[in-house]
C-alpha cells in the first residue's frame, strides 16, 4: 500500500483523526517525540482489530498508545502505525455475588477510582494516583500506595496481531514489580493489545471510599509535580530503597540538562521544563544513572519505555547499567 491507501484503509477500519506524520508531542505526557508515519484513534474494539489488520496487510509495524504516559518517543519519530487506544465504557456488575468493574482500555484510572467510590465500592481508590489509562496500567502493572493492577485485576481482554481475541487472567500475565508478560512481549512481534479489563471490587459506603480517594489525591498533589509535563516515575525503585531518595541524595534535585529538569518537588520525576527534546530527557536519565551508580553502587532501571527510531547505542547507554 502507498501512503494514501494506508490512510484510507485506516479510516475505513473505523479509526478517527487519521493522519500521516502526526507529531507525538501532541500525544505523550512529556510533550516530546517526532512524527509517526501514520496515526489514528481507535474508539472501539472493532477499530483496534481493524487497525491491526491494516498493519498486517500493509506489512507495517504498529504501536499502541494509551494516555501517552510512561513512554519516551524518539525525536526521530516512529515507524509504521500508531494506534491511540480510546476504547471507552465502564460498567459495574455482580458475578456470583462478587462486584466487578468492567472498563475499556482507554478509560483513565482516575475515572475508575472516582466512579467506583461514588457508587459505594472500594478496591480501586489507589487508581486516583495513576495518571494513565487502564490499558497501559495492565501492561505495566501500574500501582500506587497500597494497590496495584496485579492484585486488583480479574482478567484482561486482549487482541493479537493476527486479529484474534482472548482473555488473560492475572496469573496468565505473570505480574511482578512494574512488569508483566505483556510488557515483556512488547519488544517482540508476538504482541497483544489490551482492549478491556475487569477488576475486583468490594462494597463500602460512598462517603468512606470518596474520603480515601480525596486523601490519595491530596497526597499526590502535595508530593508530585502533576501540573508539569512528565511521564510519571522515571526509574523503578531498587530493592529496599527509593529512586527519588537516591537521586536527591546525589545532589541532582532541580538539575537541568537542555529543556529537561529533575523535578524540584520529587527527584524521580523528569520534567519538560520548556523546549525539551527526547534526547535531553535521555541524556538526563543517563546522567542520573551514572551519579547514583558512582555514589551508591545502585543500578537504576528505567520505568519508562523507549519507542521509536532510537539509535541502538543511545538505548544501550541508558539500559546497559541495568542490564
248 is catalytic: no
What domain range includes position 68?
A: 3-85
Measured in residues, the chain has a length of 323
Positive or negative, the Cα torsion across 212, 214, 220, 223?
A: negative
Distances in Å between the Cα of 94 and the Cα atoms of 7, 141, 175, 200 are 42, 24, 25, 10
Using the structure block, give the residue that is written with the C-alpha cell 492484585.
151
Quote the Cα angle for 156-158-162, to 5°.
165
Whether 104 and 76 share a structural domain: no
Q: Could you tell me which residues come within 8 angstroms of residue 252 by beta carbon, excluding any fewer than 6 positions away? A: 262, 267, 287, 288, 291
Whether 308 and 258 share a structural domain: yes
d(CA 281, CA 53): 34
pTM for this predicted structure: 0.91
Whether 266 and 211 share a structural domain: no
CATH of residue 130's domain is 3.30.465.10
Whether 97 and 184 share a structural domain: yes
Instruction: Give the chain's domain count.
Output: 3
| Tens digits of residue pLDDT in 154-176 | 999 999 878 789 999 999 999 98
CATH of residue 275's domain is 3.90.78.10
212 is catalytic: no
70: alpha, beta or left? (left if phi > 0; alpha if psi -120 to 50)? left
d(CA 82, CA 118): 34
Q: Which of 170, 180, 230, 233 is catalytic?
A: 233
Residue 321 has pLDDT above 80, yes or no: no
Inside any domain, residue 237: no
The pLDDT confidence band at residue 262, using thresholds 50, 70 and 90, is very high
Inside any domain, residue 231: no
Inside any domain, residue 230: no
Q: Which of 22, 43, 45, 303 is catalytic?
A: 303
| Tens digits of residue pLDDT in 10-59 | 999 999 999 999 999 999 999 999 999 999 999 999 999 999 999 999 99
Query: Where is the domain boundary, 85, 114, 137?
Result: 85
The pLDDT confidence band at residue 316, using thresholds 50, 70 and 90, is confident
Whether 180 and 304 share a structural domain: no
CATH of residue 46's domain is 3.30.43.10
d(CA 43, CA 40): 10
Whether 16 and 97 share a structural domain: no
Q: Could you tell me which residues come within 8 angstroms of residue 268 by beta carbon, excluding any fewer than 6 positions away? A: 233, 234, 235, 242, 243, 244, 247
C-alpha torsion angle, residues 191, 158, 131, 29 (rounded to 10)? 40
- The grid coordinates of residue 119 equal 457508587
Inside any domain, residue 110: yes
For the purposes of burial, counting CB atoms within 10 Å of the CB of 252, is it exposed (0-12), middle (13-18) or buried (19 or more)? middle
Whether 25 and 110 share a structural domain: no
| Tens digits of residue pLDDT in 191-233 | 889 999 999 999 999 999 999 999 999 999 999 999 999 999 9
Inside any domain, residue 232: no
If we measure between CA atoms, which residue out of 314, 250, 254, 256 comes closest to residue 286?
A: 314
Inside any domain, residue 236: no
Inside any domain, residue 175: yes
Whether 95 and 215 share a structural domain: yes
Q: Which of 178, 191, 198, 212 is catalytic?
A: 178
Distances in Å between the Cα of 187 and the Cα atoms of 190, 212, 281 are 8, 37, 21
178 is catalytic: yes
Query: Where is the domain boundary, 223, 252, 277?
Result: 223
Whether 199 and 286 share a structural domain: no
Please answer whether residues 227 and 192 qualify as being in contact, where contact means their C-beta atoms are separated by less than 8 angstroms. Answer: no
Whether 95 and 126 share a structural domain: yes
Residue 323 has pLDDT above 70, yes or no: no
Whether 217 and 283 share a structural domain: no
Whether 64 and 161 share a structural domain: no
- Helix ranges (H only) for the chain are 3-12, 45-58, 109-118, 134-140, 149-152, 181-185, 206-223, 243-249, 278-296, 312-319
- The grid coordinates of residue 290 equal 551514572
Inside any domain, residue 233: no
Amino acid at each position: 500500500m502507498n501512503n494514501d491507501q494506508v490512510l484510507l484503509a485506516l479510516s475505513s477500519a473505523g479509526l478517527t483523526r487519521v493522519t500521516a506524520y502526526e507529531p507525538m508531542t501532541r500525544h505523550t505526557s512529556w510533550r516530546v517525540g517526532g512524527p509517526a508515519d501514520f496515526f489514528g484513534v481507535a474508539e472501539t474494539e472493532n477499530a483496534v482489530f481493524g487497525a491491526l489488520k491494516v498493519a498486517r496487510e500493509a506489512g507495517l509495524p504498529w504501536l499502541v498508545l494509551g494516555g501517552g504516559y510512561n513512554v519516551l518517543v524518539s525525536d526521530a519519530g516512529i515507524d509504521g502505525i500508531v494506534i491511540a487506544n480510546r476504547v471507552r465504557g465502564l460498567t459495574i456488575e455482580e458475578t456470583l455475588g462478587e462486584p466487578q468493574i468492567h472498563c475499556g482500555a482507554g478509560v483513565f484510572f482516575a475515572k475508575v477510582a472516582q466512579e467506583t467510590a461514588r457508587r459505594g465500592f472500594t478496591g480501586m481508590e489507589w487508581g486516583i494516583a495513576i495518571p494513565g489509562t487502564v490499558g497501559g496500567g495492565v501492561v505495566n502493572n501500574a500501582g500506587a500506595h497500597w494497590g496495584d493492577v496485579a492484585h486488583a485485576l480479574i482478567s484482561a481482554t486482549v487482541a493479537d496481531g493476527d486479529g484474534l481475541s482472548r482473555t488473560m487472567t492475572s496469573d496468565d500475565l505473570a505480574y511482578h514489580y512494574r512488569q508483566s508478560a505483556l510488557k515483556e512481549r512488547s519488544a517482540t512481534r508476538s504482541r497483544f493489545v489490551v482492549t478491556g479489563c475487569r477488576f475486583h471490587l468490594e462494597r463500602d459506603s460512598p462517603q468512606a471510599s470518596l474520603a480515601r480517594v480525596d486523601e490519595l489525591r491530596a497526597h499526590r498533589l502535595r508530593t508530585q509535580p502533576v501540573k508539569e509535563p512528565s511521564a510519571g516515575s522515571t526509574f523503578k525503585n531498587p530493592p529496599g530503597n527509593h529512586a527519588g531518595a537516591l537521586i536527591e541524595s546525589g545532589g541532582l534535585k532541580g538539575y537541568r540538562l537542555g529543556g529537561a529538569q529533575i523535578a524540584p518537588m520529587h527527584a524521580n520525576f523528569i520534567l519538560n521544563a520548556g523546549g525539551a527534546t527526547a534526547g535531553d530527557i535521555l541524556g538526563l536519565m543517563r546522567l542520573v544513572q551514572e551519579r547514583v551508580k558512582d555514589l551508591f553502587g545502585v543500578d537504576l532501571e528505567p520505568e519508562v519505555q523507549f519507542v521509536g527510531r532510537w539509535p541502538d547505542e543511545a538505548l544501550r547507554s541508558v539500559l546497559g547499567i541495568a542490564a
